[in-house]
Amino acid sequence: MLSTLKYIAVVLWSAFVVAPLLWALTTSFKTANGVTGGPTYLPYIGFEPSLDGWRSLFGGAGGIDIVRPYMDSLIVTSSASLISIVLGTLAAYGLSRFEYRAGFVKNTDIIFFFISQRIMPPIVLAIPFFLMLQFLGLLDTKIGLILVYVALLLPIAVWIMVDFFDGVPRQIDEMAMLDGCTPFEAFWRIVLPNSMPGILVASMFCVIFGWNDFFFAFTLTFTDTQLLPVAVVSLNSSVTPWWSLSASALVSVAPLILIAIFVERLLSRGTLAGAIR
């Protein structure tokens, strides 16, 4: 009885999650007639399938070329995430293991300084970022966006990794040093391989944030560089091309779904659980 209820709940939840994707999938194969003809889901029976929506992604009629924004998004997101994770992990290890002091400023203050960067709403940051990038001549460039994203992602990485390293017993580092490692080797050869779960979680947050960001991509780039979320929104005109919009939504969400599946695999294998002890 209980398991039946459980299955019903799971099925309902799956429908709730899958339905919008299904809707987008069918819509992406429709034409203007198919979209306005009321809700239909079965190709050939409910509507006449067409590849117009998908073609428009590659510069077809009524669409824009989405390949370049897609690549730009991939480059910007992965570079910014990678830089943030590398710097964030190093900073977090230092903050977790060593004591820093500059007058009344101590480790916890430094950590708060990092996190406090995310307290302000994005709109407050937009103008300073704009002016800074303009000064550097980096407006409308990938490098400029990467810099901005690193500034936004680094606090997340530091925060997650400090918390993670604090949970790793200091004895692990001490033991590695007793076994003959320098402090950096202890971090590199022992603590880091043990910290993959934390790094994975932090990377996931960084990638999701970077990939989904619209606001900064919109305010800091114009024509030379265009990220995927901006490109997708620019499809919207007086007559909304639902078909190409759906197709582009599907390809934009695809990497995140792949990441979700990958992380879920690791979770179920127990790789993320009980990293220490």
Candidate residues 14, 134, 182, 268; the one interacting with another protein per rule CB under 8 A = 182
Rounded (10°) CA dihedral 177, 178, 180, 183: 10
**Can you state the angle between helices 142-166 and 122-136, rounded to 10 degrees?**
130
Tell the smallest beta-carbon distance from residue 174 to another protein (Å).
5
Candidate residues 41, 131, 143, 179; the one interacting with another protein per rule CB under 8 A = 179
Q: Examine residue 194 and tell whether it contacts another protein (CB under 8 A).
A: yes
Rounded (10°) CA dihedral 139, 145, 150, 155: 90
Q: Examine residue 275 and tell whether it contacts another protein (CB under 8 A).
A: yes
User: Which residues are CB-neighbours of 44 under 8 A, at least 6 positions away?
Assistant: none
The interface region with another protein, picked from 1-9, 32-40, 75-83, 179-187 by CB under 8 A, is: 179-187
Report which residue type is found at 3: S
Nearer to another protein, 44 or 184 (CB): 184
The interface region with another protein, picked from 113-121, 176-184, 209-217, 255-263 by CB under 8 A, is: 176-184
Tell the smallest beta-carbon distance from residue 186 to another protein (Å).
9
Candidate residues 166, 174, 224, 264; the one interacting with another protein per rule CB under 8 A = 174
Distance CA 225, CA 36 (A): 34
Nearer to another protein, 129 or 187 (CB): 187
Tell the smallest beta-carbon distance from residue 199 to another protein (Å).
12
Distance CA 185, CA 191 (A): 9
Q: Examine residue 172 and tell whether it contacts another protein (CB under 8 A).
A: yes
Q: Examine residue 98 and tell whether it contacts another protein (CB under 8 A).
A: no
Report which residue type is found at 154: L
User: Which residues are CB-neighbours of 174 under 8 A, at least 6 positions away?
Assistant: none
User: Which residues are CB-neighbours of 109 under 8 A, at least 6 positions away?
Assistant: none
Residues forming the site for another protein (CB under 8 A): 169, 171-172, 174-182, 185, 190, 193-194, 196, 274-277
